[in-house]
Structure formats: structure tokens, C-alpha cells
Amino acid sequence: MKKSFSFMLFMLVLLAPAFAQKVYKGLPVIKATATVADYRIGKEWVRGNWNISPQLSPDVLKVPVHNGKEIFTFHTNTDSISFKVQAGKSYRFYVNLNDTAYALTELQGYGFEAVEFNKKQVVPAYTLLYEQDPNNAYLQQLRTTYNLDALVAGAANDTEKALRMVNWVHQQWQHNGMNEPSNPDALTILAEVKDGKQFRCVEYGIVTTACLNAIGLPARTMGLKMKEVETIESGAGHVLLEVYLPDLRKWVMLDGQFDVMPVLNNVPLNAVEFQQAIANNYNKLEIRSLSGAGKMQYVNWVYPYLYYFDVRFDNREGVAFERETIDGKSSLMLVPVGAKVPEVFQRKYKMGRYKYTNSLSDLYQAPVLPAATTTAAR
């Protein structure tokens, strides 16, 4: 008995340093010999997206929580640690890098809230213009040069046409947030892509919009802006698009950069409906993507942008005409009820081209379509 007790005591003495290394300054500690780390939220991995930074104290990682709590696991190249993260709560631990520096890391759980807009105003206060000319030479050139009819041939419905088109544009180039085309139109962008250039989210929106208009599906580019659009120095906006699907009689959001269409209960969603579904129906929300874009990673990335929504008043296609404005303003911005009307983009750029509204009917009025197409809006 004494021998057994002595052996156990001896082992505890040997293991004491190992146990001591699990805590540093009263917090859990894990080891790493590489600066890049992965993490997992629920079952979805985010790989190579986190740099261990001892110089930041703390280094904050925001963790999205969709279902009350999420199991979050942080993985270095040699170790890992897990937490049950809840919205509104913080969790701290250290990463011991190369047995020297300690990186204080803080997880901040955050939830999702539906943004409120005016749903009572039924009659739109503004008229938005869309392409009406079936003989538009610009769109005909785009349609024939890139054989767009073949891309959607045999599609079962307008939803499938839209999915095929956004997937095709998504595949044309790799995203590069620093490049701009010599002219912001689809033909110029695609010609420069052939020369090896790569472009931003803006160009994915422009090209997908034009291609959909070319095959007869009314579309418009849409700007998204964060709630903090006036105070963030960079990255406060994103550009995607919406397309009106006549067979569903509704507007539907598409993101060419990520090859995405949001769907709830088998119904494609517009951008505002998508924001509401993230907050209220995440488990039933679906991300359709012919290239397999992941739901959680896309939703968590795009959610902060789904606050302000803007489109042009004149969404016709071409390069040799002057777009119509209203009171000298070229675009309409949908602002949440009670939210500040933003006037500055990223601290220094005046936003002088917008008219503002809180009404969903202003943004989601049905386009005037050719007589052969159903015009009622959902």
C-alpha cells in the first residue's frame, strides 16, 4: 500500500510541470509552433484564417452564435481548446507560441437580430427604371459574344437560369479587391478578364446583372453597407445583385463573388428577406450554390453588411446614354427604421448621390416587364 502511494506521489511530481503549463495568469493555455491557426464553429471549419498575434492584448475573435450557443474549437498546429460560446459573453485563453510569447486571445460571442423596415407603405414613392429594349445592341453583343443562351438552355425555371448565370460569372476570375476595370461595364470587364485581370465584388455584381438582363431577367446591382459605415476605415461595403424572377414574381438576391443564392422553405430570398432569415430562421435557411459555397462561413461573413441597401434609380444597360436621376440623386438607399442616415463612407467619402427611404415597397416594387412577361410582384 505504501509502495503504491509513493509511486503515485512520484508520478504526480513528474507530471506537475505539464499540468502547470495548462494555465497561465489564471487562464487556460495551449501551445503552438506556427502562427496560423484554424477554428471550428459547430461542424464547420474555418482554416488558415487566424494569425496568432502576441502583440495584441487581447486579440479578439468574434464568434457567431445562431442557436443560443455554439461549440467553438480553436486549433493550433499542435494543440486545441474548446468552449461553449453564448451570444454576449466573452471567453479568454492564452496561446503559448514557440514556448516564449503568450498571445492573449478573447472569443466574443454575438447573436443576430432582424433589422426593422417600414412594411405599411404599399404604394412606392419612387419609380425605378429597368431595361425594356429587347433590341438593346449592348446586351445583344454581350449575349452573342459569350453565348449566354447556351448557358441557360434547358433550365427548368427562372431560378435555375439565375443559378447557372451567377455560377458562370463566378468562375470567370478570382476575386481581387484591389483592381478596377478601365470602364465599369460588363463587356469591358470580361474583355480585361481575358487578358488575365481579376476584379472586386463590384465587378461580379455588374457582370452578373448585365448577363441576366441580356437573357431577359430584370436585374440590378445592389450595394450593401454596414451599420458602422461612417466610422470604419475600410471594408464597410459589399456589392452583389438582385434579379426579378417572373415565374416567382419576386426579387431574389445573388452574390457573384461567392456564387450564392439564399433560399428559405424552397423560396429564393431577396437581400432583406435574407437578413431576416439569418436572424429568425437560420436552421431552415439554405445557401444554394453550384460551386458548393458553405452556409455558415458565407452567412457569418455577409451578415454585418446587411444593414443599408442601395440600388440605382436607372438600371438600364449600355454605355452610350445618360442615366436618369431624381432630384439630382442617382440611387435609392433603404435605411432601417430609427437608424442614422449615413452621409459619409469610411470616414472620408461623402455619400451625396442617395435618396433615402425606410419603405420596403420603394425598394421591392416589381419592374415594368414586356407584355409577354407576368408583371405582378410578390
User: Which of 83, 59, 81, 60 is closest to 70 using CA atoms?
Assistant: 83
| Residue pair 112/279 in contact by the 8 Å Cβ criterion | yes
| Residue pair 310/333 in contact by the 8 Å Cβ criterion | yes
What is the predicted pLDDT for the residue at 377? 39
Residues in the chain where the model's pLDDT stays below 70: 1-21, 370-378
Does the structural domain 129-363 have CATH classification 3.30.300?
no
CA distances from 305 to 126, 227, 235, 362 (A): 24, 8, 10, 20
| DSSP code of residue 89 | -
Question: In terms of DSSP bridges, do strands 267-268 and 261-264 run parallel, antiparallel, or are they unpaired?
Answer: antiparallel
What is the predicted pLDDT for the residue at 217? 97
| Residue pair 189/221 in contact by the 8 Å Cβ criterion | no
| Residue pair 268/250 in contact by the 8 Å Cβ criterion | yes
Count other C-beta atoms under 10 Å from residue 98's C-beta: 12
The total number of residues written for the chain in this structure: 378
The residue type at 149:
D
CA distances from 145 to 139, 149, 217, 249, 294 (A): 10, 11, 18, 29, 32
What is the predicted pLDDT for the residue at 247? 96
pLDDT tens sequence across 322-356: 999 999 999 999 999 999 999 999 999 999 999 99
Question: In terms of DSSP bridges, do strands 36-41 and 69-75 run parallel, antiparallel, or are they unpaired?
Answer: antiparallel
User: Domain map of the chain by residue range?
Assistant: 22-109, 129-363
What is the predicted pLDDT for the residue at 117? 97
Alpha carbons 377 and 363: distance in angstroms, whole number: 12
What is the predicted pLDDT for the residue at 370? 65
What is the predicted pLDDT for the residue at 67? 82
| Residue pair 299/110 in contact by the 8 Å Cβ criterion | no
pLDDT tens sequence across 120-151: 999 999 999 999 998 999 999 999 999 999 99
